[in-house]
Amino acid sequence: MHGTRLLRSGPWSVAIAFALAGAILPRANLAQTPGPNVPRDALGAATPEYQQEALTKLMADRKAREIPEQFDPAILAAYVPEDNAVTPPRIALGRNLYFDKRLSKDGTVACATCHDVTRGFTDQLATSKGIGGQNGKRNAPTTLNVALLQILFWDGRSPTLDHQATQPILNPVEMGMADGAAAMKAISEDAEYQKAFKDAYGRDMNYEDLGRAIAAFERTLVFVDSPLRRYLAGDEKAISADARAGFDLYNGKGRCAACHPLNPSNPLGTDNRFHNVGVSARHQDFEKLAREAIKRLAEDSSEKKLDELAVGSDLSELGRFMVTRNRSDMGAFRTPLILNIGITAPYMHDGSMKTLWDVMDHYNKGGEANPFLDGGIEPLALTEKEIDQLVAFVFTLTDVRFAEENQRAMESQRVTVQEERPFRDDALANRKTLPFEQRVFGTKSTDK
């Protein structure tokens, strides 16, 4: 059976080999269940103490080690900068910094406020809230598995994790420190930090090393042991029949794998490229925004200004264009990683989609029409049943340590969908095949 699938699915044989080689499979389900008793701070995040404890439990089943064992070490190593080998003192320092609210101007916000251990390492808000009750314009992606991203942020304006970690601390709507020196001043009297920085980097505390340490910690947040992975490794029962059908749709009729590949080189489900998939097109006058952006960036083209405009202004919607000022990048965002997607709702750069069913409806209609829409987006003619199968599949991409959270999220999304999903009456969903399918699959209907 396993062999049959291996032959049938061609390129997946590579993925299977990868899964077999890399996965250390059996592990207890230690998913944290943030029940009603989770102690929360003023901004709604679980308290740092609670998160730290939850994280310790999540990591407990992994033997103490520097690099998680589920990735091909060669791939992981390729993403670690030469000056920042992942060592235990660096991980420990970075972990403390990640939870430390002193790194924000008013002492209320830490990385963990918006990348909360109990919420899929996001805030589960449409757009994030930072200091002083300010709302940013973008949805917080998860910090799970960021070790393997080639480029950071929705618009790719940061080249490395080490650099990325120095940005939110200085962003006026997030953590609001005036500069790196101000951030260091907030913790420089702390004798434990003085020692920890020395132990980690062999020199006095400085802002670049702070970014490096946080990055070293994030590189340990590897959560890729999904039911799909187990299925590919030969466990037939790891995913349901619906999810298996959804997997075929993901790779075939749904065309998801074109941008969200799941293979040994790109195991996260992102091609690390930028596409306008028509999320916010309806609301935007891209030309007007682009003129405004060029004007604002001509006044000040610093990295800090770009970060401010991207997170805190309407120019956010321009996406990659803000970085390249290339017309073809208008409204384009980096393909997000798709692992653990079940527990990180709401979705898209602006958090505009509450459930994975909404996401499927969006792709099914071919996105919102706009002059910059990616060529890979066209109506899909998925039936309701196929949409359910695709959703079932996508929920199998969550690490088993979050199995309970994933299950709860699926149930709550289903309720939301029953209550709120617009009645779908588009003729497309009833068409048997589309022109591209006839080209690719012959004239045979792919409807099940």
Among 12, 18, 50, 154, binds ligand HEC (CB under 6 A): 154
Among the listed residues 262, 377, 381, 409, the single contact to ligand HEC using CB under 6 A: 377
Residue 174 touching ligand HEC (CB under 6 A): yes
| Residue 152 found at the interface with ligand HEC (CB under 6 A) | yes
Give the angle subtended at the CA of 47 by the CAs of 42 and 53, to the nearest 5°: 170
Contact in structure between 101 and 47 (CB atoms under 8 Å): no
Give me the least distance between CB of 1 and ligand HEC, in Å please.
26
Residue 144 sits in the site that holds ligand HEC (CB under 6 A)? no
Could you identify the residue written with the tokens 């690099």?
A: 67
CB of 91 to ligand HEC, least distance (A): 13
Q: Write down the least CB distance from residue 152 to ligand HEC, Å.
A: 4
Tokens 């200091």 locate to 131
User: Under the criterion CB under 6 A, does residue 143 sit at the interface with ligand HEC?
Assistant: yes
- Give the Cβ contact number of residue 20 at 10 Å: 12
Nearer to ligand HEC, 23 or 174 (CB): 174
- ∠ CA(219), CA(270), CA(374), 5° rounding? 145
Per the CB < 8 A criterion, the answer to whether 330 and 151 are in contact is no
Between 32 and 313, whose beta carbon lies closer to ligand HEC?
313
What is the Cβ-side half-sphere exposure of residue 410, based on CA atoms within 13 angstroms?
Answer: 19
Q: CA 166, CA 96: separation in Å to the nearest integer?
A: 15
CB nearer to ligand HEC: give 15 or 339. Answer: 339
Number of neighbours of residue 125 by Cβ within 10 angstroms: 17
Per the CB < 8 A criterion, the answer to whether 167 and 156 are in contact is no
* Single residue of 141, 172, 176, 261 touching ligand HEC by CB under 6 A: 141
Rounded to the nearest whole angstrom, what is the least distance from the CB of residue 3 to ligand HEC in the complex? Answer: 28
Pick from 38, 59, 186, 258: which binds ligand HEC (CB under 6 A)?
A: 258
Q: How far is the CB of 26 from ligand HEC (least distance, A)?
A: 28
Contacts (Cβ under 8 Å, ≥6 apart) of 444: 433
Q: How far apart are CA 70 and CA 62, in angstroms?
A: 10
Q: Count residues near ligand HEC (CB under 6 A).
A: 52
- Is there binding between residue 348 and ligand HEC (CB under 6 A)? yes
Other C-beta atoms lying within 10 Å of the C-beta of residue 194: 14
In this chain, which stretch among 21-29, 63-71, 143-151, 403-411 interacts with ligand HEC, using CB under 6 A?
A: 143-151
Residue 80 as a binder of ligand HEC (CB under 6 A): the answer is no
Least separation in angstroms between CB 175 and ligand HEC: 5
Contact region with ligand HEC (CB under 6 A), list: 199-207, 236-244, 251-259, 399-407? 251-259
Using alpha carbons, list the distances in angstroms from residue 20 to 69, 208, 401. Answer: 12, 38, 19
Q: What is the CA radius of gyration of the chain?
A: 22
Distance of alpha carbon 308 from alpha carbon 339, whole angstroms: 28
Quote the distance between the C-alpha of residue 280 and its chain's center.
Answer: 19
**Smallest distance, ligand HEC to C-beta of residue 177, A:** 10
How far apart are alpha carbons 145 and 148 in whole angstroms?
6
Contact at 8 Å (CB) between 291 and 155?
A: no
| Per CB under 6 A, 376 contacts ligand HEC | yes
Among 15, 205, 238, 279, indicate the residue that binds ligand HEC (CB under 6 A): 279
- Give the shortest CB-298-to-ligand HEC separation in angstroms: 21
Contact pick of 390, 400, 409, 429 for ligand HEC (by CB under 6 A): 390
Residues lying near ligand HEC in the complex (CB under 6 A) are found at 109, 111, 113-115, 128, 130, 136, 138, 140-141, 143, 146, 149, 152-155, 164-165, 168-169, 174-175, 214, 254-256, 258-260, 275, 277, 279, 310-311, 333, 335-336, 341, 344, 347-349, 356, 359, 363, 374, 376-377, 390, 394
